[in-house]
Structure 1
Amino acid sequence: MRPVRIFTALTTLLLATTGCAAVAAANPEPESPVRPITACGDLVRGFALPGATTHVTSAAVVPATATDPEYCGVRGYVEPAVRFELRLPTKTYAGRYLQYGCGGFCGVITPPAFADCGLPHGGDVAVAATDGGHVGTTPTVVDDGSWGAHDQAARDDFEFRAPHVVSRASKAIIQAFYGSPPRKSYFTGCSDGGREGLLLAQRYPADFDGIDAGAPANYWGPLLGEYQTWLARANTAADGSPVLTAAKLPALHNAVLAACDRLDGLTDGQLDDPRACRFDPATLTCAGADTPSCLTPAQVAVVRKLYSPPTDAHGTLLYPGGQQPGSELSWAGWIIATPETGGFAFARSLADNYLRYLGYPIGAPASTVDTFAFTRREFDRLTPVGVRYDALSLDLSAFHRRGGKLVLWHGWADEAIPPAGTLDYYQRLTGGHAQDWVRLFMVPSLYHCGGGTTLTEFDPLQQLVAWVERGTTPTVVTATGRDADGNVTRTRPVFAYPRRAVYDGTGSVDDAANFRPAPPASPVRDVVHWAGEYLYAIPGPVAR
C-alpha cells in the first residue's frame, strides 16, 4: 500500500485533470468563451449572501502554463471559517462550474484541477474546492478530528453546511466576475466527497445540475463509528500487535484468484463480481512453520472477520457490508499498519478520531477504538450526531424534478468503504432498475477511489456532463489500468449496473473494445437488512 495512494484516497480524491471530451464530441464547434467584466483584483471584497457571508481575501491573475489556462485565482472564506479556492479562467471560460468534494475529515484545500470540455486551451470550467470548515493538524491532516471536540460550528460546517455555502459563494463570485451565473453546475467527489454529493442532492437539490458521487461515505456514523472500528479491532491481538501482517496478503490474494477468478467466465486477474466468490481462508492454514505463504489459525479467523460485516453478540448487522474477496492487497496501510504509512493503519486512526472527537454530542461521554462496544445500545448512541453527517435519505424527488442527474460508482475491491452499502442504497432508491436520472457503475478490482490490481482509474465526469447538457444517458464508462510508470495496461468497459461486461471471444482481454454488455448472472437482491434501516427515513439538517 503506497502512502501517496492512501493520502489521495482520503483527500479530495481524483483531482487529476478531468475531461469533458464527450461533450466536445457531441458539439464539435468550440463554445464561445465568456470574458470577464471586471478586474480579477476587484473581487477582493465581501459578498453579503444570506446565511453565507463571504469574504474574498486574495484574487490575482495566474499566468497560463503548459497544462493550465490563465486564470484568476481566488481565495477566501464563508463565515465562520469555510475556506475555499476558486479558479476563474480569464480567456477560456464557457459557462460551467465544477466543485470538488473533499475526503476523510477534510481539513485542507486541495487545489482544484481544471476540466477540459473542448475549448482549444482547456480550462473552460470554473473550479472550486474547500477544506470543509476547519484546518487539520495531524501529519496526514485528513484523519484529524480534534478540531471538532468543542466546536459545534466547525462540526456543522463539516457535517452538512460547507459544500452548500461554497457553491453559493462561488456562484456569486462567478456572477461578479463574468456578469452572469454559471449556466450549468457540477459536483464531483469520492469517499467523503461522494457523501457530500449525495447530501447536496438530498438536502440542497437546487445547487447542482449534475453530481458525480464515487464510493460515497453516506452511511457516515455507522461507517466511522462501527465499521472502521471493526476493521481495527478485528486485526488487533491482546498485546496490541497486528494478527494478520502485510507479508501474508500476496499469498491470500493469489489464493482468492485461484479459487474465484474463473467464475465470471474469464481468467484475467480480477473478480468482476466478488459476491460470487466463496473462498475459505482456512485452505491456507499453515501445515508446518509459519511462513508468508500460509495463515495461522488466528490469521484465518481475522480474515473471516474482515470479510464479514460488524455484528453485535446476537448477530445483528451493525453495517451493511464487509471486505470483498479480491481486495486483500489493499488492506496494507488501511487495515494493517505498515512502515510506509508511518506505522499506523488509517482505519484505526479515522475510527479513533471519530469516536473521541466527532461521533457524540459535545460534552457527552465519548469512546475509543479499544473501548467501543459492538452493541445495539452503542449503535443508537452514535445516531443523534451520525444522522447529521449521513446522506441516506431516499427522497431525491426535488433534485429529480429539477432535471438533476446523478452518477454513483464504487470499486468492487474498495478497502475503506464496502461496496455493499452503495448497492443497498441504490436498490432502495431505484428498486435496482436504471432510472432516467440516476446510474450506478461498479468497477472490478478498483480500490478506494483509485488504484487497484488490474483497473486503477475511473472517472465518469465526461458522461455526466454529456447527460446533463446533451441528454446522452450514460450506459458505459471505460475504466483504465496503469502500471507504476503510468503506462496503460488495461481498458475495460463498465456498464451501468446491473449489466456486466462479457468478453466477445476475440482479441486482447486488456482492450475494452473486445467486450459487450450482458444482463446480470443472477437476480439483483442488494437490499441488506441491518440495524440502521431506520436511518433512511431520517432527514438531515439543512442550513439555508
Structure 2
Amino acid sequence: MPTRSTTPDATAATLAASLLLVSACASANPPGRDNAARPVLTPITPCATLTGLVLPVSAIDLPTSGATITSATLVAATPEIVGTSAVTHAVPEHCSILGSIHPVDPAAPPINFQVNVPTQWNQKTIQVGGGGLNGSIPRNLAVVASSGSPISAAFPPDAEYPISRGYAMFGGDSGHQDPSNNATWALNAEAWQNFGHAALKKTHDAAFAVIRTLYGKKPKLSYFMGQSQGGREAMEVAQRYPKDYDGVVATAPLIGYTAHVVHKTLLATVQTGAGWIAPAKYGAVAAEVMRQCDALDGLSDGVISNYPGCAARFDPLKVAQPFAAIRCAGGADTGNTCVSDAQIATLNQMHAPTSFGYPLANGWTTFPGYGVGREAFSGWLTIAPQPSPATQPALGQPGATLNYGILKDPSFNLVHFDVATFANQVQAASAVIDSTNPDLSAFFAHGGRLIIKTQSSDYSSNPHTVMKYYDALVSKFGQAKVDRHVRLYVLANGDHGGSGQSTTTGEALPQFVDLVTMSTDWVENGATPPDAPELSAKLRLPPYTTLATRPLCRYPLFPRYAGGDVKLAGSFRCSVD
C-alpha cells in the first residue's frame, strides 16, 4: 500500500534567476514512452455482458468489500452539433459502464464510478477529478465543457475531446452521494478517508479491472486531470499513488485544504461585526488596488499581470497600511467610498498569512494570504449578506467541511472557532486531505509528469499555497530536476474558474489553453511544455475566431507589456520585474 512521508516544507528563495536561465536553455526533451506502433484495441467481450460483473476484493489494493458493475451500455457515436452558443463535438461509439465499490463499514456510503471506453481504444486512460464536495460522478467523461470542466476550466472550444482521441475516461463520486454542500457523510471515518484520497485509488483499480475484462489488457498509460477539488485530488494521486499515473494535470488545486477552510472560517467570523465589508464598498477597494497596481506590468488596461508586485503592496506584513489611501476619516465607517479600521482589519486578515502555531501535514505551519485583482467582481469575499454572530456564518463548502469533516460536530457554531483550541482535530484532518507533500521522489522515478495551473486572483483556491508548494519542490530536488517533471503556470488576474476580464473595459482575458494535449505530448512524445504557452480568447462557434492572445507564464514570471498590439501574445514578455 502506498505510504505518505512527512517532510517539513522549506522556505525557498526566489526562483526568478534560475527560471530565466531555464527559459533560455531548457533541458533536452526526454524520449516519449508511448509506442507509436501500438495497435488500437477493440473489445474481446461485448459491452452489455459486463452488467452484473462482480469485482473481487483482490482487484482493489485498498480495503473494500469488492465492487459490482450495475450497468454497461454501448453508446452509439454522435456527430458534431453546433448550438447557438457552443459546439458539442463528435463523440465515438463507446461502452458506458456504471459501477459501485462496496465499503468495508456497512454504514459508509459506496463509491459510485463510471468508465467510458471508446470501442477503438488507444490503451490509455484519463481519470477525472471532482468538484466542490464531490458527491456525484464527474459530468465530463465524454463531452468536455469549455467552462467549469473538471478536466480544465479553460479547455479550448475547438479542441477534440480526449475520448475522441481514443482515451478511456473514468471518475467517481469520491464515496458519497450528495453533490450539495451538506457534508453529513464526513462523520463516517471511511467516507472521510475516501473523500480525502482513498476513493481515488479504489476507483482507479476498479476501472482498470473493468477495462482489462473488456479488452483483455490493462492500460499502458494513465493520466489524472482535475480542477479545484479535482485539482487537489490530482496532487493527491501524484503524492500518494505515484506509480499509478504517468501524467497529472492540476488546475486551481485546493492544496492545503484544511488551512483553506479554517482561513475562510476566520475571515467570516471577523465580519459578523463591524468588520463586514458590504458589496457597495467593493468598488472603492477595487479602485485602490488598480491605482497601485494596474501599471506595474507596463500597461494600464484594468488587468493586474504583475501579481507578485501587487500582492507585496497589499501584504500587511510588508506594508504597514496598505489601504491607508481609502481609510475613512477617523477610522469609523462613513460611507461606501472608504473603509473603516475594522474593515481594514478584515482586508489584512485576507491578505496576511495565517499562523497556526503548530505543524499541519508535511510541516506546514502557515496559510499564505490571498492575492488581489478581482475586487470589482462578484465572488471576492463571498460573504453577503452579513453573517450573524448568533448563527453559522454563510460558508457553504468550507463551513460544512469544518463542522462535519474536521470538528465532527455539526452543531458547533463556527463563530466561536479558535485555531489553538481545535489543534488536534485540525492536524488529524490535515493528514487526510492536505495534498502538500513535496516528496515526489516515487512519481519522478516512475517518470511522471505534472502540470499545475493556478490563477493569481483566485479567492476560492489560494494560488499562493500552490506557489509555496512549488518552492518546496525546488528546495528539495533542485530546479533542474523539477524542470524535468513539473510545470507551474500562473494565469495572471484569472479567477477560480480560469477566466478573467478587464476591470476598466470588461473585456475577457485570453484563457484557453489545451493542457490535455500538453500533458499527453510530454508523456508520450517527450515534448517538454513551453515556458510560455499561448493563451487565447476565441469565439465558441466555428470558425473559432481568435480575438486576443497572451503568454501563460511559468511561475514566478508574469506577462509584462513590451510594446505593440495589446491583443497579441508577442507584445508581452514573461518577466520577473
TM-score by length of 1: 0.78
Q: How far off is 1:271 after superposition?
A: 1.8
Q: Which amino acid aligns with 2:529?
A: P
Give the direction of change, closer, same or farther, for the CA distance of 1:414–1:273 in structure 2 (3 Å limit).
Answer: same
Report the equivalent of 2:437: 393
List aligned pairs for 1:12-411, cutoff 5 A. Answer: 33-44=40-51, 45-48=53-56, 49-50=59-60, 51-52=63-64, 53-65=66-78, 66=80, 67=89, 68-80=91-103, 81-91=110-120, 93-114=121-142, 122-136=164-178, 141-149=179-187, 151-224=188-261, 226-237=262-273, 243-277=276-310, 278-279=313-314, 280-286=322-328, 291-311=335-355, 319-329=366-376, 332=379, 335-337=382-384, 348-360=395-407, 367-375=412-420, 377-411=421-455
Q: Which amino acid aligns with 2:490?
A: M
Q: Is the 8 A contact 2:97 2:115 kept in 1?
A: yes
Give the direction of change, closer, same or farther, for the CA distance of 1:386–1:410 in structure 2 (3 Å limit).
Answer: same
Count of residue pairs the alignment pairs up: 475
The CA distance in 2 between the partners of 1:120 and 1:411, in whole Å, is 24
Q: Is the 8 A contact 2:306 2:559 kept in 1?
A: no
Percent pairwise identity: 29
Q: How far off is 1:262 after superposition?
A: 0.9
Report the equivalent of 1:479: 535
Note if 1:423 corresponds to 2:500.
Answer: no
Give the direction of change, closer, same or farther, for the CA distance of 1:167–1:445 in structure 2 (3 Å limit).
Answer: same
Q: How far off is 1:223 after superposition?
A: 1.8
SS in 2 for 1:73: strand
Give the direction of change, closer, same or farther, for the CA distance of 1:357–1:295 in structure 2 (3 Å limit).
Answer: same
Q: Is the 8 A contact 2:374 2:380 kept in 1?
A: no
Report the equivalent of 1:446: 494
Give the direction of change, closer, same or farther, for the CA distance of 1:266–1:83 in structure 2 (3 Å limit).
Answer: same
Give the gaps of 5 or more residues in structure 2: 1-33, 81-88, 104-109, 145-157, 315-321, 502-508
Q: How far off is 1:392 after superposition?
A: 1.8
SS in 1 for 2:170: strand
State the structure with bigger RCO (CA 8 A, min sep 6), 1 or 2.
Answer: 2
Q: How far off is 1:436 after superposition?
A: 0.4
The CA distance in 1 between the partners of 2:240 and 2:135, in whole Å, is 22
Q: Is the 8 A contact 1:103 1:142 kept in 2?
A: no
RMSD (Å) for aligned C-alpha atoms: 3.5
The CA distance in 2 between the partners of 1:384 and 1:368, in whole Å, is 20
Q: Is the 8 A contact 1:228 1:350 kept in 2?
A: no
Report the equivalent of 1:466: 521
Q: Is the 8 A contact 1:229 1:369 kept in 2?
A: yes
The CA distance in 2 between the partners of 1:347 and 1:129, in whole Å, is 30
What's the CA shift string for 1:355-409, capped at 9, x where partnerless?
A: 221104x5x898442110133x434441023211122222111111110111122
Give the gaps of 5 or more residues in structure 1: 1-26, 522-544
Q: Is the 8 A contact 1:112 1:129 kept in 2?
A: no
Q: Which amino acid aligns with 2:189?
A: Q
What's the CA shift string for 1:51-100, capped at 9, x where partnerless?
A: 45221101112222222222211111112211111111124x32221111
The CA distance in 2 between the partners of 1:373 and 1:143, in whole Å, is 22
Report the equivalent of 1:525: none
Q: How far off is 1:458 after superposition?
A: 5.1
The CA distance in 2 between the partners of 1:249 and 1:400, in whole Å, is 44
What's the CA shift string for 1:185-237, capped at 9, x where partnerless?
A: 1101122212211211111111110001122222122222x212122123322
Report the equivalent of 2:552: 494
What's the CA shift string for 1:132-189, capped at 9, x where partnerless?
A: 10012xxxx342211122x112112111211111111111212222222222111011
The CA distance in 2 between the partners of 1:459 and 1:218, in whole Å, is 22
Q: Which amino acid aligns with 2:522?
A: W
SS in 2 for 1:492: strand
